[in-house]
Amino acid sequence: MKLIEERTVVPGSGCEINAAVLRPIGEGPWPGVLLYTDIFQLTESTLRTARRLAAQGFLVCVPEIYPHGPLAGVALEFDDAGKQAGLAGAAAMTTAEFDADRAAVLDYLAGRPDVSTLAVTGFCLGGHLAFRAAFDPRVRATICFYPTGLHDGALGSDTADSLARAAEIQGRLMIVFGSRDPHVPADARLTTITELYSAGLTDVELHLYHGGEHAFMRDVGARHDAELTDLALASAVSFIRGR
């Protein structure tokens, strides 16, 4: 499927949020997908994933996650300097700022005439942000890929109340883990699942991929697993479509 790829600026609360928008050629409307990046922001690796999703018949919006400070508009390199800059960017953000930015992007998507429904996905820290986006009743489906900090509230400069608010989620939820992820080890996964079940979300779709390392879907570096990536994306597409 041929795509149109554009850059736009979403008005935020005290900031402008740079975003990439990818959609199939045609009038639509298309299911809208808010895709949260990992700490490195709008890298070509993340955009390749966004293109794969858009090619399945979705309008995909990929916003930067650090629009308030010096990393606004910056795509970081996958090296130690980029990692440290990304972590510092997360530490400078409050949960309230992340939430306000999420509301702005969802409002933008919901206001587009070529968007029919809303879904959210995200990777790593972006997986945690996707979980919080699921609190919005307009979001029908959410997929969190190896969400970091979900089990203990680690998100930005404060402690997020994400799992404590799990009962607010009205749409369908899918979470993908890798079995060899040191950032989301077995005890963290158990805590997350236990809290979700305690909140009444007993129909969460859970995937644990054997051998999957952290960021196994990032197609750069030794941790990438192409086969698991294909499996995870196929499941995500099917999930968003409402199977």
Tens of pLDDT, residue by residue over 44-53, are 999 999 999 9
| Spatial CB neighbours of 19, under 8 Å, sequence gap ≥ 6 | 7, 8, 9, 10, 61, 62, 63, 64, 105
Q: What is the pLDDT averaged over residues 126-148?
A: 98
| Spatial CB neighbours of 171, under 8 Å, sequence gap ≥ 6 | 134, 137, 139, 140, 141, 142
Q: What is the pLDDT averaged over residues 195-205?
A: 97
Instruction: List pLDDT tens digits, range 138-191.
Output: 999 999 999 999 999 999 999 999 999 999 999 999 999 999 999 999 999 999
* CA 227 – CA 100 distance, rounded (Å): 36
Residue 243 has pLDDT above 80, yes or no: no
Angle at 160 between CA 157 and CA 165, to 5 degrees: 165
Work out the number of other CB atoms within 10 angstroms of the CB of residue 106.
20
140 SS3 class:
strand
CA 191, chain centre distance (Å):
20
Q: How far is CA 234 from CA 40, 193, 239, in A?
A: 24, 23, 9
55 band by pLDDT with thresholds 50, 70 and 90 = very high
State percent of the chain over pLDDT 90: 98
* Pairing assessment for the beta strands 59-63 and 16-24 based on DSSP bridges: antiparallel
185 vs 27 pLDDT, higher one: 185
Per-residue pLDDT, 1: 85
Count Cα neighbours of 174 within 13 Å in the Cβ-side half-sphere: 25
Alpha-carbon dihedral 90, 94, 97, 103, rounded to 10 degrees: 90
Q: Any idea what the CATH number is for the domain that residue 138 is in? A: 3.40.50.1820
- C-alpha R_g of the chain: 16
Alpha-carbon dihedral 197, 198, 200, 202, rounded to 10 degrees: 10
- In sequence order, what DSSP letters do the residues of 173-202 get, joined into one string? EEEEEEEE-TTS-HHHHHHHHHHHHHTT-T
Number of domains in the chain: 1
Please return the burial class of 202, using the count of CB atoms within 10 Å of its CB with bins 0-12, 13-18 and 19+: exposed
9 band by pLDDT with thresholds 50, 70 and 90 = very high
13 band by pLDDT with thresholds 50, 70 and 90 = confident
Average pLDDT, the chain: 97
Domain extent, residue 38, equals 3-240
